[in-house]
Structure 1
Amino acid sequence: MRKQTKILLGIAALAGGLSFMAFRPQNEPLKTVAYVDLQKYMGTWYEISAFPQRFQKGCHCTKAEYKMHPEGYVEVKNSCRKNSATGELEVAMGKAFVKDERTNAKLKVQFFWPFKGDYWIIDLAPDYSYAVVGAPNREYLWILSRQKQMDQALYNKIVAGIKEKGFDVSRLVLSDQSCN
């Protein structure tokens, strides 16, 4: 009798879990910006906030520098100071490849061959003063700026837009940009 009860409870739990998953609201497909002028996008970007990632653990003063390569891909140079604003400079070099030439908003970034990650530009200031980069699975997110600091009202507006796109904004962590 006890074994049958456990089996029935197990089946009920499984059915309940499957029902929950079936009716749970799913995120809509992630939309990117309509178009990115890659020449305007090139240059230095400072990380304002991001979802923590293990490969950025202990990073301070994180920035990314982008440069068009003559062969058509984007050279990526990510850098940060490890463990403090005066810590050792750590640099990672990579390449980004445009995957949607109609918009230039979907890229694949590669730091270690053969692995590539999604780099989708999901928000971009008309003057290219800030950008928001995410991944369609919503596990990666960066708010970037041409300046080391961002106006709080603008930041709040950007975060509200990110939330509307289905990201868990409670995961955002402000970045230390106190380096000289």
Structure 2
Amino acid sequence: MRLSNSLFFACGFIVASTGAGARSLPPVQPVNHVDLTRFMGTWYVIATIPTRFEKNAYNAVETYTLQPDGNVYTAFRFNNGGFGAPEKKIHSLGIVKANTGNAIWGVQLFWPLRAQYIVAYLSQDYRETIVARDARDYTWVMARTPTISPHDYAVLIDKVKALGYDISKIRKVPQRWSSDIVGKAGGN
């Protein structure tokens, strides 16, 4: 990705990240605890209220790597506009907020600005998660596999709605992978 596109996205995301809370809703409640070691690895984006940058994402995948200092290196990649479109990549740092059970991070695309990242739902088996923000502007429903059952999808979208999001803005992210590629992508 060219630097100008990266800076455009970063500036737009940061500006959107600094807005006031949505419709005076209470803050999003994070899960009690995230075992960061178990949380690391590949997460497929199943559905999202997307940022401007990812509105046309296909095969969207977020990969987390725990760093020695306890923060999280994030690598987000997707095909922009279709399955055969060029792959776009964004790298950032998730800075885990102290005393939050590892459930609240500040995602830093560049210093000094950070975007809010709240693990609002995490299944006990660490196979599905919802990342939210107090502003209720963006959300990500992710799973360890590129697809989930219609029942699981409906349950997760109901959870997003219960968080105070307008689910009419949800975009189901097209995912198409062969089984050998899923294994290589690190599907946990």
**TM-score, reference length from structure 2:** 0.79
Partner of 2:61: 63
Structure 1: unaligned runs, 5 residues or longer: 1-24
* Aligned positions, number: 156
**Is the CA contact 1:98–1:108 (under 8 Å) kept in the aligned structure 2?**
yes
Structure 2: unaligned runs, 5 residues or longer: 1-22, 179-188
Q: 2:28 aligns with which of 30, 41, 46?
A: 30
Partner SS, residue 59 of structure 2 = strand
1:74 is the counterpart of 2:78: no
- The Cα RMSD (Å) is 1.4
Shift of residue 113 of structure 1? 2.5
1:115 is the counterpart of 2:113: yes
Partner of 1:126: 124
Task: Give me the whole-angstrom Cα distance separating, in 2, the residues matched to 1:32 and 1:160.
Answer: 16
Shift of residue 46 of structure 1? 0.3
**Is the CA contact 1:31–1:122 (under 8 Å) kept in the aligned structure 2?**
yes
Task: Give me the whole-angstrom Cα distance separating, in 2, the residues matched to 1:172 and 1:57.
Answer: 10
**TM-score, reference length from structure 1:** 0.82
Task: Give me the whole-angstrom Cα distance separating, in 2, the residues matched to 1:86 and 1:127.
Answer: 33
- Cα pair distance change 1:164/1:57, threshold 3 Å: closer
Q: Deviations over 1:62-112 (max 9, x none)?
A: 100000111221010000112211111111111001114341100010122
One-letter code aligned to 2:118: W
Q: Which runs of 4+ in 1 moved over 4 A?
A: none
Task: Give me the whole-angstrom Cα distance separating, in 2, the residues matched to 1:124 and 1:57.
Answer: 24
**Higher mean C-alpha deviation, range 149-158 or range 119-128:** 149-158
Partner of 2:135: 137
Task: Give me the whole-angstrom Cα distance separating, in 1, the residues matched to 2:26 and 2:68.
Answer: 36
Task: Tell which structure's C-alpha radius of gyration is larger.
Answer: 1
Partner of 1:54: 52
Partner SS, residue 136 of structure 2 = coil
Query: Percent identical across equivalent pairs?
Result: 28
**What is the 5 A alignment of 1:132-171?**
132-171=130-169
Q: 1:176 aligns with which of 162, 174, 177?
A: 174
One-letter code aligned to 1:83: G
